[in-house]
A = this chain, B = another copy of it.
Amino acid sequence: MKEKEQGLLIVLSGPSGVGKGTVCAALRKRDIPFVYSVSATTRPPREGEVDGVNYFFTTKEKFEEMIKRDELLEWAQYVNHYYGTPRRYVEEQLSAGRDVLLEIEVQGALQVKKKFPHGIFIFLMPPSLKELEHRIVSRGTESRDVIQNRMVMAREELEMMKYYDYVVVNDKVELACDRIEAIILAEHCKRERMMKHYITALEEEK
């Protein structure tokens, strides 16, 4: 019996404000055969965000219950809110041979790396720190204190780049998407993964 090939777990992360959400939204418009993991969070929805699509919006109490039951692949507390990834959905999709894209904060990505060391870890990077500050400020939803707090955190998060496999500069959204798409396609061509197909192909001809 042939073993069902696992899908790839692709983790897209990077400092707050770098544009992870925007890049993911642009990726969704492309014809890429992967599934998006949906995170759970206790932060209130931003305008236009839909429950079950952008996030599962939940309460602090329910979130802490999920932590206790080990139902989260990763979780983090960030600017007084919880963010986390429900574990079961991701594992089911991977087992079915589907690639899964996780868009998460840097802290969470490092937790996932411990559980899925063979995942593909992509760090989305701002073209510069100045540009990052500009993006956070122009979002206009944060107070001055929160912005300063985020910039301090961003510098720390940039240091975490060293734990990632790939670094994608988000200079232009479409270029960032091209790079991410290329990384996924290239990873599928890695020799370790392709050897299995080759062995099967030769066996069938004997």
Is the pair B195, A185 in contact by a Cβ cutoff of 8 Å? Answer: no
The reply on A158 being an interface residue by CB < 8 A is yes
The one of B167, B178, B186, B201 that contacts A194, using a Cβ cutoff of 8 Å: B167
The one of B166, B168, B189 that contacts A166, using a Cβ cutoff of 8 Å: B189
Chain A 149-179, CB-CB to B under 8 Å as 1, else 0, gives 0000000001001101111110000000011
Q: Among A128, A161, A191, A195, which residue has the most Cβ atoms of chain B within 10 A? A: A191
The reply on A125 being an interface residue by CB < 8 A is yes
Interchain CA distance A167-B168 in the complex, whole Å: 23
Is the pair A168, B189 in contact by a Cβ cutoff of 8 Å? Answer: yes
Is the pair A167, B183 in contact by a Cβ cutoff of 8 Å? Answer: no
The one of B161, B164, B178, B187 that contacts A185, using a Cβ cutoff of 8 Å: B178
Nearest CB of chain B from residue A151's CB, rounded to whole Å: 12
For A130, the chain B residues whose CB sits under 8 A away are 205
The reply on A182 being an interface residue by CB < 8 A is yes
Nearest CB of chain B from residue A27's CB, rounded to whole Å: 15
The reply on A190 being an interface residue by CB < 8 A is yes
The reply on A116 being an interface residue by CB < 8 A is no
Interchain CA distance A197-B197 in the complex, whole Å: 37
